[in-house]
A and B are shown apart, each in its own frame.
Chain A
């Protein structure tokens, strides 16, 4: 253990989940800070994510939620602070560094390429080649194989309206695009999956499927960070809730320790979190 764990709201963690928090965090940030010119994006944020938990991040617009996860996943280079994975310091210079470490991210702007088809998007920057010399010498892509597996990934998510993996993403609805981005993260995340408002464009039923998928990933032992404005979703799916406010962390609560109203009050600054004694 190379860095001390952050204090947990552990009194309010159900006994059945306590073992999760006895492990080492899978992803940690310490003192993460970033400036955008003279605007403070993040102001020394600490965060721990445990394998097998859903950590929700809530906060007002502009509170720094997206910035926080971009710093954790190599999309932004934080100007201060450190990132640890499984206790070891890591240095993500580019998104693919985080990806190679097992972190998959659904960014708020989705990061899909409209002109490419669904299968190309799912496999972008991790293309699979044909077996034999066609792949090794001519570097030919295994388009068929990728399309088949892309279809399985999308079906696993339960999105039936997407049928043709050769369809360009720009011909999809907003919700379908979101489903493609989520399917990509779910299919390839091996340690951590980060979702920035993954249900914003989804209907009731699709949102339910994404929440089910999130729980599934957690039950498989992955750490999941979920950013959402939908408080019922957060209180349903999260094990702990990191409240982001004005670029800093206003505290970490659990669905058991605080109800939605209290959570929102802390988020908006109407109420201060009474610090709990570290366990």
Chain B
């Protein structure tokens, strides 16, 4: 550390990196490499087990199955990048979905109004999380644990716990379940929306100043503040944008399930966190790429899909997912120790 410039330069030039160190550096720079490898390997294995896995038909289905969790995981990634966690993702989505569907049921309200109210409600729910985190300085885990229960209860009280079938809903509310085919590949508008979400948020994170602030606030909030980053405002915006994203996911979920059902995805929270973590984003904040999250979400669904095609008990997927989460966090711990 206190060597003179020329010594340091000599050290720098002459330093031999072991292959392990080189891998560490590579993963440090591109944290989505390991999930991508896992994705490719699992695709190869599942195709080997059952060639039907890699058909256009299956891929289309896989994407549709992935879409909802992948959408939620966009918001979850934003929150986790700021070193937070959002346990209320599923609850906000369900609340928004039930409000959307109930308002629009049997022509009660035009679809577009119901949609706007539902998404606005989700955005407001995210804003509430953000206000509790930034104004009252409560840990995100506690805040969203609380709002998880609150929003779930409100959703159940409001809807009476019953589902609303798509036949009672206007076309716009069901729209994301419709789709089109490219050859045998069938895509829904829901899948397209999710891809667009990744493109837009990925662009904002990697190409704009706001994206840098998200990383800075997550990595070292005090240094970010001293550097002039409006830390609290960025944090508030992150939770609010996340809420908006959960609102869009609610819309997509109605299309996907053909109904608004309060318990459509009971473990949405954990699935979204799993996708983010397997995708290489650090739970400690400030590190990760959105594309990794998409890969992570696809991996989990590919396991489910591939194992069922292979006729294997689904508990193996649960087991494999658990192992992947632990491996992913271990890799993250390791690459965070990277040194010059």
Contacts and interface: CB of A to CB of B under 8 A. Distances in A.
Contacts of B286: 113-115
A173 interface: yes
B19 interface: no
B212 A124 contact: yes
Contact of A173 (B8, B216, B219): B8
Interface of B is mostly: helix
Contacts of A175: 1-2, 8
Interface string B43-59: 00000000000000000
A107 interface: yes
B125 interface: no
Contacts of A141: 207-209, 212
Contact of B28 (A110, A112, A168, A205): A168
Nearest to A170: B338
B5 A120 contact: no
Interface string A143-167: 0000000000000001111000001
A111 interface: yes
B212 A174 contact: no
Given A115-B287, A127-B209, A173-B8, A203 B3 contact: yes
B81 to A, nearest CB: 10
Nearest to A110: B223
A139 interface: yes
Interface in A212-241: none
A95 B3 contact: no
A2 interface: no
B36 interface: no
B1 to A, nearest CB: 5
Interface in B218-234: 219-220, 222-230
Contacts of B215: 113, 115-116
Given A113-B220, A160-B5, A201-B1, A139 B208 contact: yes
A77 interface: no
B1 A120 contact: no
A125 interface: yes
B9 A160 contact: yes
A248 to B, nearest CB: 25
A26 interface: no
Interface in A172-189: 172-176
Give the interface size class of chain A: 35 or more
A75 interface: yes
Nearest to A201: B1
Contacts of B223: 109-113
Contacts of A99: 228
A161 B226 contact: no
Interface string A102-132: 0001010111111110001100111101000
A96 interface: yes
A111 B12 CA distance: 25
Contact of A124 (B1, B8, B12, B229): B229
B212 A127 contact: yes
Contacts of A206: 4-5
Nearest to A159: B5
B319 interface: no
A173 B7 CA distance: 13
Q: Which 4 A-B pairs have the closest CB atoms?
A: A125-B228, A96-B228, A111-B226, A127-B209
Given A124-B229, A139-B209, A205-B6, 9 more contacts: A94-B230, A95-B228, A112-B223, A113-B216, A113-B223, A115-B219, A115-B287, A159-B5, A161-B8
Interface of A: 75, 94-96, 99, 105, 107, 109-116, 120-121, 124-127, 129, 138-141, 158-161, 167-168, 170-176, 201-206
